[in-house]
């Protein structure tokens, strides 16, 4: 019997993963926030619409709420970093003794919080360059084809479910160095996203602020080394410049969150970096100043800073 993929969170990435797993014929259950959300989903026909290369496909996926009684052996956690710990805590009574959790959250911090809440479960961390957005409820646009790195910092052995991803056409690779990849992505994010918010510009707008970017990259490189991640620091500045150029026309995810009045994942990105610097007594004055300016900006916009 194939193991059911429970997918927590029917947002952008959760819907993208659930639709691809389900259309490959694998058993999938969406876990929705509450009974009204479940009722809305069922009224919509209990299906996700996936729009890919302009072509839309309706994929039926069954759904349930957190307090359903079905045991969970495999859980894809697809909510925002700030929701992950509590969302998994709500499901603890349903997790089997050999449960496997796959954590899609950006940044760092939420993965350890989830792993501490569910110590019996094997937790796989993911770092993805795929991009998706929710056009409306239950309808997701696959906007950027990419790649997902997966790994378990406590156990380098690949899990048994990787063939399911292959069967579903989800490009991925297992890596023993997932923390290096997550740290690298966090550093890229810290060097680009907060500045796009503060200068209210697309990524390419940072080409007008080369000194600010270079100073941040230098401090981030030192921080990565202090945190035992020297490989994540290699050629950081040139990669940041390359990303700024390659994505010049895009608004960063943090810029999009702020301009649409949504809560950001600041605590798991810049906030995590600044807290790590303090823990390791690593001097990063410009990074701390950046955090202060960003927090002030969020407060001025009436947005949460945690």
Q: What are the residue numbers of the active site?
A: 185
When asked if residue 179 is in the footprint of ligand NAP (CB under 6 A), the reply is: no
Residue from 4, 6, 12, 254 touching ligand NAP (CB under 6 A): that is: 12
Nearer to ligand NAP, 226 or 269 (CB): 269
When asked if residue 265 is in the footprint of ligand NAP (CB under 6 A), the reply is: yes
Give least dist CB 110 to ligand NAP, A. Answer: 7
Nearer to ligand NAP, 12 or 180 (CB): 12
When asked if residue 87 is in the footprint of ligand NAP (CB under 6 A), the reply is: yes
Residue number with the smallest Cβ distance to ligand NAP: 11
Give least dist CB 102 to ligand NAP, A. Answer: 12
Q: Are 266 and 206 a contacting pair, CB within 8 Å? A: no
CA distance 147 to 171: 5
CB count in 10 Å sphere of residue 187: 25
When asked if residue 78 is in the footprint of ligand NAP (CB under 6 A), the reply is: yes
When asked if residue 32 is in the footprint of ligand NAP (CB under 6 A), the reply is: yes
Nearer to ligand NAP, 138 or 215 (CB): 138
When asked if residue 105 is in the footprint of ligand NAP (CB under 6 A), the reply is: yes
CA distance 265 to 84: 12
CA distance 192 to 273: 14
Tell me which residues touch ligand NAP (CB under 6 A): 8-14, 31-33, 37, 66, 78-81, 83, 87, 90, 104-106, 128, 130-132, 134, 265
């Amino acid at each position: 019997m194939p193991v059911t993929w429970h997918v927590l969170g029917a947002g952008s990435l959760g819907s993208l993963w659930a639709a691809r797993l389900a259309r490959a014929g694998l058993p999938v259950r969406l876990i929705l926030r509450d009974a009204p959300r479940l009722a809305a989903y069922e009224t919509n026909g209990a299906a996700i619409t996936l729009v890919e290369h302009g072509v839309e496909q309706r994929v039926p996926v069954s759904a349930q709420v957190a307090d359903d009684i079905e045991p969970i052996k495999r859980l894809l956690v697809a909510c925002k970093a700030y929701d992950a710990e509590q969302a998994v805590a709500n499901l603890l009574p349903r997790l089997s003794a050999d449960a496997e959790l796959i954590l899609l959250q950006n940044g760092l911090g939420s993965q350890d919080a989830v792993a501490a809440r569910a110590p019996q479960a094997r937790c796989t961390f993911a770092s993805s360059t795929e991009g998706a957005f929710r056009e409306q409820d239950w309808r997701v646009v696959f906007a950027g084809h990419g790649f997902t790195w997966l790994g378990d910092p406590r156990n380098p052995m690949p899990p048994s479910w990787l063939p399911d991803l292959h069967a579903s056409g989800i490009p991925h690779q297992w890596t023993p160095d997932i923390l290096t990849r997550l740290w690298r992505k966090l550093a890229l994010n810290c060097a680009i996203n907060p500045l796009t918010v503060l200068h209210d510009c697309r990524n390419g707008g940072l080409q007008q602020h080369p000194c600010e970017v270079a100073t941040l990259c230098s401090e981030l490189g030192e921080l990565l080394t202090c945190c035992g991640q020297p490989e994540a620091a290699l050629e950081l500045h040139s990669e940041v410049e390359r990303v700024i150029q390659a994505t010049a026309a895009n608004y960063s995810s943090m810029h999009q969150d702020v301009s649409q009045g949504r809560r950001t994942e600041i605590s798991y990105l810049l906030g995590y970096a600044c807290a790590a610097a303090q823990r390791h007594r690593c001097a990063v004055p410009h990074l701390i100043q950046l955090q202060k300016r960003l927090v002030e900006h969020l407060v001025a916009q009436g947005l949460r800073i945690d």
